[in-house]
Amino acid sequence: MKEIFFTAGPSQLHKNYAQYYNEALQKNLGSANHRSNTFRDVYKYTYTQLKQLLKLPNDTAIFFTGSASEIWERMIQNLVLNKSHHLVNGSFSKRFYEYAAALGINATKYEVELLKGYNEAALKVEEDVELICTTQNETSTGVKMNPTLLNKIKQINKNALLCSDLVSVAPVSEIDYTQVDSTFFSVQKAFGMPPGLGVWICNNACRQKATILQSNNKIKTAHHTLETFYKNFEKWETPSTPNIIAIYVLGRIAEEFNTYGFEKLKNETAIKKQIIYETINNSNVLKVAVENIDWQSDTMLVFKTEKSSTEIVNELKKSNLIISTGYGAIKESTIRIANFPTTSIEDINKLAFALKQLG
Amino acid sequence: MKEIFFTAGPSQLHKNYAQYYNEALQKNLGSANHRSNTFRDVYKYTYTQLKQLLKLPNDTAIFFTGSASEIWERMIQNLVLNKSHHLVNGSFSKRFYEYAAALGINATKYEVELLKGYNEAALKVEEDVELICTTQNETSTGVKMNPTLLNKIKQINKNALLCSDLVSVAPVSEIDYTQVDSTFFSVQKAFGMPPGLGVWICNNACRQKATILQSNNKIKTAHHTLETFYKNFEKWETPSTPNIIAIYVLGRIAEEFNTYGFEKLKNETAIKKQIIYETINNSNVLKVAVENIDWQSDTMLVFKTEKSSTEIVNELKKSNLIISTGYGAIKESTIRIANFPTTSIEDINKLAFALKQLG
């Protein structure tokens, strides 16, 4: 049996990944100039497919970077003059906060324990906060943010921009994109592609804020300013030569998801999650790590283990089933199982069977 | 006949590109974690092959970014507190200067006319310059920097770091890497890969400078600091998830170049350049644009045209030979022909034949 990757990302490649990549090679996209009609058509195509898949509002722009972590930095550089606020409950939401602090702005945070989510107390921020940074799916702990809470943040704090890190959940997130100003993700998670592309989604409010900073010479980057991104986006171009082939393949996978149907994708994600949770409920070795059902991520399933997580990972590896250890402080005491659209119900059943064998 | 790309980049893919990419897929590199031994082996392999190919000194570190333009920014952010100096003779060396200026430091320049190179007068910089930025091969005009001049810059200005943009020339550049502190390139030019990876080469002097800035809290980026790059490089890891497959393929192509032999690669480049220059010398439509022989790039051959360059490009396109128009102010009055290792002498002969037909 070939290895199946349930890793936190990079993860299992989409089953048609190689086919779409080959299509791109056949179309000579690897040699295409990023100021040619060939590239413009690719950009427009991928934009259109993503807009449909994620139900993005009409004032949406989509930009491409080297990685999602780059976007943490671009977000702060382009949208914050003095103050950002961060909801922190794990390694990645914390790193977003640390990026902001390192960039020299006044970054504040509301931090909760690992494996916990947020309640209403987390929602109200100080009046002078310019950007509220949230993480929809904390990849290190498998805690998701309730979409209703996210909407409330926007309603309560009308003066601040709101951004949501969708790294390990897009496109199967349930968030309402009309209620956030900016989101972003990388392609090596739920889209099932190799790493090398970050995707940054912005609305007009972001553009307006960036324009104010830019006209006051307050932007601290030269490379990926929102101004340059927008100027190029209007022509379906990019500021520098991007990962053209990855942009094309992302569009193809988004198209396939559109054809398949977002609801079906969501339902299958729920079914697969249920299969794994039922298995864990009957396990003597593993137990649920995120106790509050509302906080249990749909795409990153995290479980506690009394054995070392490395031992569990190695045991499953013998059956060619590749999962991840925990991350950060709970690396050894938890395991992480990605539940991305790229693994089938059949794959998940194989994993459930192997988890049962652990005892 | 299939299209052959002599474009300035993205350009003709390496003939074994698809094979190497497939190898990477077979090895599951698209799903490999960047903190796994699988990735560490890839990083070490590509580093070793590039070090051999470019004859890099032992204190060399190699880092990966999203693009070469990103490196313009990282270079300034990590290596300059107050002042950089730039040799400018075209659109790309100018953009490097503009990046520095936009990042708020005191950026000075020594600028010469388009299609010209530098003489001794350009070499001496002010005492307080921390980083001298040069462009080995100005992609917009096809002017190269004399390697002897580059060495002199270092000898004359011992207090400054020296960096060289090798974007459209690595790996066939003749520069002596022991005489520069930092170089960088992207893979979609002479390495014949699709875009999506920047390669940044630094020596210990860069590290020392960055450490001083970092310990004084003077680094203006959080994402790709040299400190984080080095900390990860010591473990053969990267700060964030990189374009793993591209790193592998880059290593494979470098290995192939090593096996083939750097001198043979250089000789073929010279032969192909000669074929095209001889053709142009007999042309009624095109004429040499860079008049000083010492300044004529080996990898980016630029010629003047009295017709519009777009017309020439379109004419050659009918024979499936794809070249580039000029760039910037001389876009319409010049054409650019890439002479990368990815096109064979046979390909160049086909192009020469078609150029002759133009008149």
Give the model confidence (pLDDT) of A319-334 as tens digits: 999 999 999 999 999 9
Alpha-carbon gap, residue A303 to A286, rounded angstroms: 6
Tell which phi-psi region holds residue A118, choosing left (phi > 0), alpha (psi between -120 and 50) or beta: beta
**pLDDT confidence of residue A259:** 98
- Inspect the interface and report whether the beta carbons of B31 and A25 lie closer than 8 Å: no
Q: Which of B72, B195, B223 comes nearest A241 by C-beta?
A: B195
Chain A residue numbers with beta carbons less than 8 Å from the beta carbon of B194 are: 29-31, 243-245
- Inspect the interface and report whether the beta carbons of A240 and B70 lie closer than 8 Å: yes
Dihedral sign, CA of A335, A340, A343, A349?
positive
Q: Which of A73, A241, A242 comes nearest B223 by C-beta?
A: A73
Chain B residue numbers with beta carbons less than 8 Å from the beta carbon of A21 are: 21
Give, for B131, the enclosing helix (H) or strand (E): strand B131-135
Cross-strand pairs, A138 = A143
Mutate to test the interface with A, among B6, B25, B28, B31 (most CBs of A within 10 A): B31
- Inspect the interface and report whether the beta carbons of A10 and B31 lie closer than 8 Å: yes
Dihedral sign, CA of A210, A214, A220, A224?
positive
Alpha-carbon gap, residue A125 to A157, rounded angstroms: 7
Helix (H, G, I), strand (E, B) or coil at B139: coil
Cis check for the bond before B195: say yes or no (omega within 30 of 0): no
- Inspect the interface and report whether the beta carbons of A220 and B103 lie closer than 8 Å: yes
Dihedral sign, CA of B342, B347, B349, B353?
negative
Predicted confidence band at B267 (pLDDT cuts at 50, 70, 90)?
Answer: very high
At A83, give phi and psi (nearest 5°).
-145, 125
Helix (H, G, I), strand (E, B) or coil at A277: helix
Residue with the two structure tokens 């998940």: A348
DSSP A60-87: -EEEEES-HHHHHHHHHHHH-SSEEEEE
Give, for B110, the enclosing helix (H) or strand (E): strand B106-111
**pLDDT confidence of residue A32:** 96
Has residue A145 got a pLDDT over 90?
yes
Alpha-carbon gap, residue A303 to A280, rounded angstroms: 8
**pLDDT confidence of residue B220:** 86
Q: Cβ distance A139 to A145 under 8 Å?
A: no
- Report the 10 Å Cβ neighbour count for A283: 16
Average pLDDT for chain B? 97
Tokens representing residue A133 in the block = 């940074």
Count of CA atoms in the C-beta half-sphere (13 A) of A21: 21
Q: Cβ distance B168 to A217 under 8 Å?
A: no
Predicted confidence band at B76 (pLDDT cuts at 50, 70, 90)?
Answer: very high
Tell which phi-psi region holds residue B188, choosing left (phi > 0), alpha (psi between -120 and 50) or beta: alpha
Mutate to test the interface with A, among B216, B243, B248, B309 (most CBs of A within 10 A): B243
Chain A residue numbers with beta carbons less than 8 Å from the beta carbon of B322 are: 31
pLDDT digit string, tens, across residues A32-73: 999 999 999 999 999 999 999 999 999 999 999 999 999 999
**pLDDT confidence of residue A220:** 86
Q: What is the CA radius of gyration of chain A?
A: 20
Q: What angle do CA B79, B80, B82 make, to 5 degrees?
A: 165
Alpha-carbon gap, residue B310 to B326, rounded angstroms: 9
| Residues A7-30, mean pLDDT to the nearest whole number | 97
Helix (H, G, I), strand (E, B) or coil at A300: strand
Dihedral sign, CA of B222, B228, B232, B233?
positive
- Report the 10 Å Cβ neighbour count for B208: 11
First to last CA, chain B: 23
pLDDT digit string, tens, across residues A25-43: 999 999 999 999 999 999 9
Taking the CA of residue A54 and the nearest CA in chain B, the distance in Å comes to 24
Alpha-carbon gap, residue B171 to A159, rounded angstroms: 51
pLDDT digit string, tens, across residues B276-287: 999 999 999 999
Taking the CA of residue B122 and the nearest CA in chain A, the distance in Å comes to 26
Q: Cβ distance B7 to B322 under 8 Å?
A: yes
- Interacting residues of B207 by C-beta distance below 8 A, sequence separation 6+: B61, B226, B230
Has residue B1 got a pLDDT over 90?
no
Q: Which of A7, A69, A240 comes nearest B69 by C-beta?
A: A240
Helix (H, G, I), strand (E, B) or coil at A287: strand
Strand spans (E) along B137-181: 137-138, 143-144, 161-165
At B132, give phi and psi (nearest 5°).
-100, 125
Task: Identify residue A169 by its one-letter amino acid code.
Answer: V
**pLDDT confidence of residue A97:** 98
| Residues A168-181, mean pLDDT to the nearest whole number | 96
pLDDT digit string, tens, across residues A84-105: 999 999 999 999 999 999 999 9
CA distances B172 to A58, A201, A232, B71, B267, Å, are: 47, 39, 32, 20, 10
| Residues A215-239, mean pLDDT to the nearest whole number | 95
- Inspect the interface and report whether the beta carbons of A194 and B245 lie closer than 8 Å: yes
Predicted confidence band at B359 (pLDDT cuts at 50, 70, 90)?
Answer: confident
Q: Which of B21, B65, B222 comes nearest A103 by C-beta?
A: B222
ipTM: 0.97
- Inspect the interface and report whether the beta carbons of A31 and B17 lie closer than 8 Å: no
Of B238, B304, B192, give the one whose Cα is nearest residue B65. B238
Alpha-carbon gap, residue A62 to A182, rounded angstroms: 10
pTM for this predicted structure: 0.97
